[in-house]
A = this chain, B = another copy of it.
Amino acid sequence: MKNSFIKYVDKPLLKNPIVIVGLPGVGNIGKICAAHLINHLATKKLGTLYSPHFPYHIVVSGKGVLRLLNNELFYHLSERGDRDLIIITGDYQSQTIFGQYEIAGLIINCCKELEVSGIVTIGGFAVGKTKDQPSIFGIINHESLSSWIEQLNVEYCEEGSPIVGAAGLLIGLAKLHGIDGICLLGETPGFFADINAAKSILERIKSFLDLEVDLSNLEETAAEFKGKIEKIQKLEREAGSIKKILEKIAPNDNDLSYFG
């Protein structure tokens, strides 16, 4: 496995699909939004993205069955039949700069094949403290999309701001391929899963795309999500303390430790 790839499990005929991407990141806003949409819209699995640039561990899911780390693609057929959705989320972003570009390129290729009509990525903008009125920023990839900023009721982002990771990179790469895109960032302290910011963004997307989705129980999605993360963090902390011991005694000169 030397290249990132998408393994498709379905090839539906999608109408003018809009892609919504929410991966793990600051405040996990993107992932909460995507997870909620996948759970509360009628969605089916489109495919799974694997990459040699994800971490080199696997994860145990329900019933002691493991799976490779991945990003997953789902689709939702609009009831009105005018504009379908593709929703992308996942376990991790790439662990390397090169992998970030490789995976973003792969997703953009997928978008071109499926003739998507636009991409919305969701992330967090870390401010390091709580704010009374956290802003939601919108960064478009073409000046002709300024009406989206208004329709979504989001703010312009300060010039020069660096947007790190897949949310920005995807929209930037989409620009090169002539695909319209907007990156939505919620201001967030950054050190906990930020449900309020996620809700604020989902309300805007719901209205913008005219989605019929219930946002009342977002807390549940976030709580379930938080529980999983805390469990993983606990397991990783345990592993981490071992890792430090191993670095001193393990018969190797590398910076990877072996937990397998």
Contact = CB atoms under 8 A, between A and B. Distances in A.
A202 interface: no
A258 B164 contact: yes
Main secondary structure of the interface of A (DSSP, over half): mixed
B60 A128 contact: no
A260 B65 contact: no
Interface residues of A, number: 104
Interface string A29-59: 0100000000000000000001011111111
Interface in A148-167: 149, 156-167
Nearest to A258: B25
A27 to B, nearest CB: 10
B161 A59 contact: yes
A189 B99 CA distance: 34
A126 B59 contact: no
**How many identical chains are in the complex?**
4
B162 A245 contact: no
A183 B66 contact: yes
Given A30-B260, A190-B245, 18 more contacts: A1-B173, A53-B97, A56-B101, A58-B171, A60-B139, A60-B163, A64-B149, A67-B172, A68-B175, A92-B254, A126-B242, A127-B242, A128-B242, A162-B239, A162-B253, A164-B259, A165-B258, A168-B260
Rank and list the top 7 A-B pairs by shortest CB-CB distance, nearest first.
Answer: A167-B260, A165-B260, A52-B101, A25-B258, A164-B259, A126-B242, A1-B105
Interface of A: 1-2, 7, 23-26, 30, 50, 52-68, 92-98, 100-102, 104-105, 121, 123-128, 137-143, 146, 149, 156-169, 171-173, 175-176, 183, 185, 190-192, 228-229, 231-233, 235-236, 238-242, 245-246, 249-260
